[in-house]
Amino acid sequence: MTTTNAISVSGLTKSYGDQAVLRGVDLTVTQGSILALLGSNGAGKTTIVKILATLLKADSGAVQVAGYDLTESPAKVRERISLTGQFAAVDEILTGRENLVLIARLRHIKSSGLVADELLERFSLTDAAARRVATYSGGMRRRLDIAMSLIGDPPVIFLDEPTTGLDPQARIEVWQTVKALAGQGTSVLLTTQYLEEAEQLADRIAILHQGRIIVSGTLAELKAMLPPARVEYVEKQPTLEDVFFAVVGADRSGETR
Amino acid sequence: MSTQLVGDTAALTGRSLRHVTRSVDTIITTVIMPIAFLLLFVYVFGGAIQTGSESYVDYLLPGILLITVATGVSYTALRLFVDMSSGVFERFQSMPIARPAVLWAHVLTSLAANLVALVVVVLVAVLIGFRSAAGIGAWLAVAGILVLFTLGLTWIAVFAGLSASSAEGAGAFAYPLIFLPFISSAFVPTNTMPGAVRAFAEHQPVTPIVNTIRDLFAGQPVGSDIWVALAWCLAILLVAYALAMTKYHRKIA
């Protein structure tokens, strides 16, 4: 069973007791694209990700991930997905390299050491490889977390609020990584509450509100729904972010490594 | 599937053993309480306790070994709880692994850590005068009973770790287990206790287990106590395993 959709969800519902969290969610992610799922806290973004990652059972609805039905063959789905959770799920007591080797072994990759070293290099963590993760900064942890998700080249990746709690510099590093991923054909479902993040990264944007997707489309399509643009003359003040980068002298042009 | 379970369990056990060896404080706190009880009872209370045996440390050690296991397993519950609350558990469950491997790794780690703690406590007992007439067979029998007991208590710890809503709660289940040997034949003979207490002491799991290990250490023939002890150990193991697995399957989709 093959489709051109990496993820297709229709009529997904989930309740916790009396409280309906998802009331019929429909969404699709085409292969090699990034879908940003936008929503406020408690909108049900994480619930959707948990269901798609086989961690939670839906009450009803049809879900296909990477060509497999979620309820019929969850094991096949698990071979083709990777989850980066809201709070970096890295082992603090192990070193960065040990974390990567462990995941490679659990994905049954023979040359686990080689894979680990390659990823350390790619994510600029080689110098910190032998240090315990407990000593890492927030940005380093998240880079390691994403590196762990890439082991075994899963075609579908879930990123649940990947930049929550990161400083601006680290956020831009994560953005560059995600863009590079989609460039290589990986399909990404990204949840975020930062509108700017969705604008920066996503091919398509879906807005989740009160358990349903109320709007979805490209950024241009979403903008077309608004009243037409008017021309106004406004003095452009630097944002605090502009000031921050001017002062610390970091490069925010977005060029990849 | 089964070879995958073995491979995944090995990888994950390697991980949690590193957790133990890199937090040496957990090993020290595991052995320090039983050793403190050992010294306290041998050098403070022991002189006033009439057990009928020549050396109180010989009488006391089996109960202290059970307390060692009860303290040790609380760290298993804690480690499991930390895995679940940190998201590491979810990462493993979303991967193509044999899912029970996540629990078995914690169980095997608990067994290894507790065996090390037991050896340390026995060595301390030897330093303060513990002597045994047991042969190889009797020592192996003691080891077998302690392994069964540790596995049973470990699965209770797994259940506690899966059910807990806080780190403190995850460790607190061990207190009654640590306390249970006090109302048994571990410290004093049961025949001095008043009726109801004595009835409880003689019909709870610790008494037959302690009596059996004590007989084995003394090189004495064991009575029917060994069958009662084994039945208790197996019953605890099976019930705790069933409860933990039920809880586990309810946790995961």
Spatial CA neighbour of A169 closest among A72, A92, A241: A241
Question: Choosing among B75, B80, B94, B109, which should be mutated to test the A contact, i.e. which has the most A CBs within 10 A?
Answer: B94
B154-201 pLDDT, tens digit per residue, is 999 999 999 998 988 888 888 889 899 999 998 888 888 998 999 999
The strands making up A60-65's β-sheet, listed across from edge to edge, are: A19-30, A5-16, A60-65, A68-69
pLDDT of A244 reads 82
Q: How many CB pairs under 8 A join A and B?
A: 70
DSSP B75-136: HHHHHHHHHHHHTHHHHHHTSSS-TTHHHHHHHHHHHHHHHHHHHHHHHHHHHTT------H
Confidence of residue A138 (pLDDT cuts 50, 70, 90): confident
- The residue among A182 and B74 whose pLDDT is bigger is B74
pLDDT of A37 reads 93
Structure tokens at A148: 């762990």
Assess whether pLDDT exceeds 90 at residue A240.
Answer: no
pLDDT of A181 reads 84
pLDDT of A59 reads 92
Ordered by where they begin, the domains of chain A are: 5-225 (3.40.50.300)
Please list the ranges in chain B whose pLDDT falls under 50.
none
Assess whether pLDDT exceeds 50 at residue A257.
Answer: no
Cα separation, B92 vs B94, in Å, equals: 5
B94 close to A (CB below 8 A): yes
Domain of B85 in residue numbering reads as 2-251
Residues 6 through 45 of chain B touching chain A, CB cutoff 8 Å: 7-8, 11-12, 14-15, 18-19, 22-23
Mean pLDDT of the region A197-205? 90
User: How many structural domains is chain B composed of?
Assistant: 1
ipTM given for this complex: 0.85
Mean pLDDT of the region A153-163? 90
Which residues of chain B are within 8 Å of residue A154 when distances are taken between CB atoms? Answer: none
Spatial CA neighbour of A97 closest among B131, B15, B253, B193: B15
Spatial CA neighbour of A119 closest among A78, A92, A149: A149
Nearest CB to B91; choose among A89, A94, A108? A89
Which residues of chain A are within 8 Å of residue B97 when distances are taken between CB atoms? Answer: 106
Nearest CA in chain A to B3: A108
